[in-house]
Amino acid sequence: MVPELHLFIIWEHAVPLVQSIMMDLLTKFTVKKAFQIYWTPALFADNLSRFYGQNLPSGSEKEQHCGRGAFFCIIVMDEHPVYAPRQTSKGTLPVNANVFDAKAQYRQWAGGGHRIHATNTPKECNRDLTLLFGCDPDTFIQYYPGAWDGHCPVLHQDLLGTHGWQDLSQLFSALRSTTDYVVLRNFECLPDTYHTALHGDIDLLVRDSVDVALLLNGKKVFPEPYRIHYQVHVGGQPVYFDFRHVGDGYMDEVWERDILKRRTLSPKGFFTPEPKDYFYSLLYHASVHKPSIAPDYFARLSAIAERMEITGFSPSTMMDPYSLKHFMDTYMQQEGYRYTVPRDLSVFFNQSFFEKG
C-alpha cells in the first residue's frame, strides 16, 4: 500500500511517557516531526471540543482525564500500512492496524483511557493536521520532506479558525480537509463575497451539523434548539451560515446522501452539487420551502434547464402550479425520493404545493 502520514498526541497526563513512546515510534514508523503545543488556557475547552467534534465544556471528564496543559504531537509516516478491523468508538471499522495497535499499547502504558490520541485513517489525519497546523498531509510533507531531526519546537497556538478565518477561501479549504459538505445554492459569487442581494446566508449540506459548527467556530444566532443558523467570523466580519444535515428532513435523507456523494469541486475551491442535483434541489427549495417562487429563481432555473437540456421544463412550467407539481413528482418518483417536512420549524413548508394536481 501507499505510505500514509499519521499523528499521535500525548496529552498532558501522559507526557511522562513521551520519551518511551518516541523510542517505540522510531522502531515502528518513520518519525517526521515532533512539537510541544500550548493552547491558550482560557480556550482549552473550546479547542478540545473542536478537535474532537463534540461539546466538551470546561472541566469536562475528558479534560480532567487528559489534562489541559502542554501536550506533544508526533507526526509519523507509516511506510507499509496494514488495514484490519478494530473496535473503535464508532463501532468495528477497518483502520490502519499499525497505528491503532501502537495507540492501544501506549494507552495501556498510560493506565488506560484516552490520554493518547492517534489517527485511524488518512482522512482523520487530514482533519487533525488541518486543525492543528493549517495544512493537509501533502503540504506537511513538502514542509518536512526528511526524517525527524531530533528537535521539538514549542508552539503557542490554538486550532485553526479559533480567532476567526482570514477569508472564505481559507474556510472552505479547512472544510475540504475536515468534513463532507456542499454549498447548496447561491454560490456564484463565492468566495469573493458571501451574499447576494436577495439571499444573504451560505447554505451548507453536511453530515453532522454539530461537528461543522464546532469546526468553523460558529455561534448560534437563535436559542431555539431546532435552529441551525450560525454566525462565523471571516475577515473580521460576521458571515451567516445555515448548516443543513443528513436526516434533518430538509430534503429526503437518501437525496441528501446522494448530493454529498455526487458533489463536485468548483474551480473556486469549494464543493457544490453536481448539475442535476443542483437544478432539482434548487427547484425543490423554490417550490417546497417558499410560498411562491422568487423572481430571481425563474431566470436562474430556466438558464440551468436550457444549459442541461432538461426536457419538459420551461419558464411556463414554473408559472403553472399543476405543471410544476407534476414535473417535480415525476422526478421524485423516478429517483425514489420523498417530500419531507423539515425539522427546522423556521423553514417554510408549502402545504398548498401538495394540494395541486
What is the residue-wise DSSP string for 305-357? Answer: HHHHT-TT--HHHHH-HHHHHHHHHHHHHHHT------SSTTS---GGGGG--
Q: How many CB atoms lie within 10 A of CB 211?
A: 19
Q: With b meaning 16 or more CB within 10 Å and e meaning fewer, what string describes 295-334?
A: eebeebbbebbeeeebeebeeebbeebebbbebbeebbee
- Tell me the backbone φ, ψ of residue 267, rounded to 5 degrees: -60, -20
User: Rounded to whole angstroms, how far apart are CA atoms 58 and 128?
Assistant: 21
Domain extent listing, the chain: 4-156, 168-355
Kindly report, residue by residue over 39-95, the tens digit of the pLDDT: 999 999 999 999 999 999 999 999 999 999 999 999 999 999 999 999 998 899 999
Q: Evaluate whether 62 touches 52 at the Cβ level (below 8 Å).
A: yes
Q: Which three cell numbers stand for residue 221?
A: 444566532
Kindly list the distances between the CA atom of residue 292 and the CA atoms of 39, 252, 297, 307, 321, in Å, as whole numbers in the listed order. Answer: 50, 21, 10, 24, 10
- Catalogue the E-assigned strands of 17-68: 30-38
**pLDDT for residue 352:** 83
Kindly report, residue by residue over 289-320, the tens digit of the pLDDT: 998 888 888 888 999 999 999 988 988 888 88
For the chain, give the longest Cα–Cα distance: 73
**pLDDT for residue 197:** 56
User: Rounded to whole angstroms, how far apart are CA atoms 177 and 137?
Assistant: 10
Architecture of the 4-156 domain: 2-Layer Sandwich (3.30)
**pLDDT for residue 6:** 98
User: Rounded to whole angstroms, how far apart are CA atoms 244 and 268?
Assistant: 22
Least confident range of 50-54, 139-143, 202-206, 314-318: 314-318
